[in-house]
Structure formats: structure tokens, C-alpha cells
Chains A and B, each alone.
Chain A
Amino acid sequence: MKRISFWLLLWTAAISGLHAWLNVSWAEVLNDRLPTERRKLNVAYIPVT
């Protein structure tokens, strides 16, 4: 049981780590925490000319 729990925990941690690395834009997360006057402006576009 202990062994299964260990591998389950390790698997969950690995998947969560990968998700955080691949899918989260940390630049944006950190930017959102800055004071308004120092924050970068998010500029939206769609892939049309």
C-alpha cells in the first residue's frame, strides 16, 4: 500500500510539474502581480493579417 501511494504521489507531482512548465505562462502570472504602472500591457490579436 505504501509503495503504491509513493508512486501515485510521484506520478501526480510529475504530471503537475509538467503541466506547470508546459501550460502556464509564468511571465503573465508574474506580470499580473506587479503594480499597475509597472505591468506589461497584454495585447490581444488573432492570426489574421
Chain B
Amino acid sequence: MTDYIARHALDGNLFIPKMFQGFPEIKEALISNRVQAGFLVAPMAIALRSQGVPIKVVYLGHRYGSAVVVQKDGPVHSVADLRGRTIAIPSRFSDERLIMLRALEKNGIAPSEVKMVEMSPADVAGALAAKAIDAFSMGEPFPSQAEMSGFGRVLFQAREYWPDYMSCVLVVRQDVIDGRPEAVQTLVDGIARSGLWLEKGKPYREYAAEFVGRYYFNQPPALLKWALTRPLDRVMYAPLSPRKRDFDLVRDLMIESGLLDKKLAFEDYVDVRFAEHSQIKTAWKFEPGTE
């Protein structure tokens, strides 16, 4: 996704990718118009819209790819063991918090029986290794980082408690949607095609891990290879069109957990036109290792 954005920055003068270390910073940048589009966790996008911030969700970044990780040799072997423990989440307004609440509820644990702390995604693996936290609920590649380094163990993948789980969504400022719809369509088309390309198989994912790790994420390619291929459906890049039922579930869970005080209509925070127009797109015609 990021590579696609960067290529257009170089060739088509359309986008400049800007890396941030946390979702709250992206939120502030969107509000202040320092960035015009960005990947946010879905509940944060809905909350911002409900607060009147002029943005809309136009596409998803990926599906699945979040997990709850505990200390490898620690005492937590089931969700029930999390009672009384400290769990790191990326933000109060994150799917990772909602999935945690869902798992706790299914296991008869009240939210007040665990301590959830907000932490920047990049810090959670270190915090788990240092035993500053007992678990974290986070998107890839941080669960893979803890697993690969030998101090973390996946307690459960998000999809075990939420079959159609989604996390990062692409949001765009309303003034850009209104004034430059062709640029938004180009962005959505590119993400759709990149997603289909990644879904072509393991060599494609391994190749993506190499260049994204080196040139964009500043992370070891081996770590991204782990996250993208163990197993291949650990993170999925299709289908990425925003579906009403998925967002209704997020919205309802937000209301249940006190993050939202009113039932926002799907159309108020999602613009499906760009996803609908990108349906016919095919994967990039590019074979790994040919460039």
C-alpha cells in the first residue's frame, strides 16, 4: 500500500506517504489538515466523524492481522487467566480494545477486572519482554515480533472472537472527497490492486516484506515475512470494500463500551462510491524479483 502511494508520489505527483508512530498523532494531523488522508483504526474514524470532524472512511487497509499476545513462559494460558492482568492496547478508540472486551465478555470477565493501558504500537513488544505488561492486543507485525523474538505467545487471533474482523481503514478529508474525487479514486484503486497482488501467494508477500521493511517501515524484512506468511491468512488484503454490517458491529460495540453516545448512520461516516468503482480492478501486473 505504502509503496503504491510512494510510486505515485514520484511518478504522478499525487501522494506523499507520511509515517507516524501512533494513531492519535494521525488523528491530530487529519484534524489540522497536515495530512489529507490516512489509515486509522475504525472506531477512531467513527468517533471523529461523530464529533464533527470532516472525514469519511472510503476503504479498508486490511482485514484480520490483530492478536492478543502474552508472555511465552508466563502464567496466562487462557482468556480467563487475564483476570487482574495489565493489557496494552493502541488506543481507547481501537478495534484491538473492542476485541479484548469481546473476548473478556465471552469468558465471563468484567472489563473492570483487567487493567488496559494505552501504548504506542512500537513499544508493546519491548514492554512485554520487560514484563511491564502481561499482554497486549495489537496489529501485526508486533505480535509476530514478540513470537519471533521468543518472549511472546499468541493467546488468540482476533478472528477467533470476531470472524469478519477489520482494523485499519482509509479515511479522507471531506474537502478532498468533494474537490478532488479523481485523486481519491486513484488512491483507492491502487490499494485495491495492491491488495489483490498480495493475495496472489507467498512469493508476492515475501517480496513485499523485503521492500516495505527496508524502505518504508524501517523494520527487518524477516519480521514482516513472518507476519505476512505464518500463515498466509494471518493478514488479508481482500475484500477491502467497507461493508455496512462490519461497521454497524463496530459502532454498536462502541456504544456498548461507552465510546459513542449515539447511533451514527453508516452513510454519515462511510463513502462507498470509491470502493464500488474499484470493484473491477485487477492485481498489478508485476512479478516478484523482476524489478
**Interface secondary structure of A, over-half rule:** mixed
- Smallest beta-carbon distance B244→chain A, Å: 25
| A to B contact number (C-beta, < 8 Å) | 92
Minimal beta-carbon separation of B171 from chain A (angstroms): 9
Known contacts A43-B35, A47-B19, then 20 further A-B pairs from the complex at CB < 8 Å, ordered by chain A residue: A27-B16, A37-B179, A40-B9, A40-B14, A41-B16, A41-B36, A41-B37, A41-B180, A42-B16, A42-B18, A42-B36, A43-B5, A43-B18, A44-B18, A44-B30, A44-B39, A45-B1, A47-B216, A48-B121, A49-B139
Q: Which of B14, B38, B141 is close to A45, meaning CB atoms less than 8 Å apart?
A: B38
> If the complex has contacts A41-B176, A42-B36, are A48 and B141 also in contact, measured as CB distance less than 8 A?
yes
Contact B65 A44 (CB under 8 A): no
Q: Judging by beta carbons under 8 Å apart, are A43 and B26 in contact? A: no
A45 partner residues in chain B, CB cutoff 8 A: 1-2, 5, 17-20, 38-39
Which of A's residues lie within 8 Å of B, judged by CB?
Answer: 27-28, 31, 36-37, 40-49
- Minimum CB–CB distance from A49 to chain B (whole Å) comes to 4
Query: Cβ of B179: which chain A residues have Cβ within 8 Å of it?
Result: 36-37
Residue of A nearest to B168 (CB): A48
- Residue B187 at the chain A interface, CB threshold 8 Å: yes
15 contacts between A and B (CB under 8 A): A37-B179, A37-B180, A40-B14, A41-B15, A43-B36, A43-B38, A44-B26, A44-B38, A45-B2, A46-B121, A47-B21, A47-B218, A48-B138, A48-B139, A48-B141
Are the CB atoms of A41 and B14 closer together than 8 Å? yes
CA distance A37 to B227 in the complex (A): 38
For A44, what are the chain B residues with a Cβ–Cβ distance below 8 Å?
A: 18-20, 26, 29-30, 35, 37-39
Report whether B37 and A43 are in contact in the complex, using a CB–CB cutoff of 8 Å. yes
Give the complex CA separation of A27 and B13 in angstroms: 11
Q: Please, how many residues of chain B have a CB less than 8 angstroms from a CB on the other chain?
A: 47
In angstroms, Cα B227 to Cα A36, docked, is: 38
Find the B residue at minimum CB distance from A44.
B38
Asked if B235 is at the interface of the complex by the 8 Å CB criterion, the answer is yes
Quick one: closest A residue to B175, CB to CB? Answer: A36
Q: Which residues of A contact B217 (CB under 8 A)?
A: 47
What CA separation (Å) do A17 and B73 show in the bound complex?
51
B117-149 vs A: 1/0 string, CB under 8 Å? 000011000000000000000111110000000
Tell me whether A46 and B36 are in contact (CB under 8 A): no
A24 to chain B, nearest CB (A): 14
Residues of A within 8 A of B22 (CB): 46
Cα–Cα distance between A36 and B41 once the two chains are bound (Å): 27
B161 to chain A, nearest CB (A): 19
Task: Kindly provide the distance from the CB of B218 to the nearest chain A CB, expressed in whole angstroms.
Answer: 7
In the bound complex, how far is the Cα of B187 from the Cα of A33, in angstroms? 22
A40: shortest Cβ distance to chain B, in Å? 5
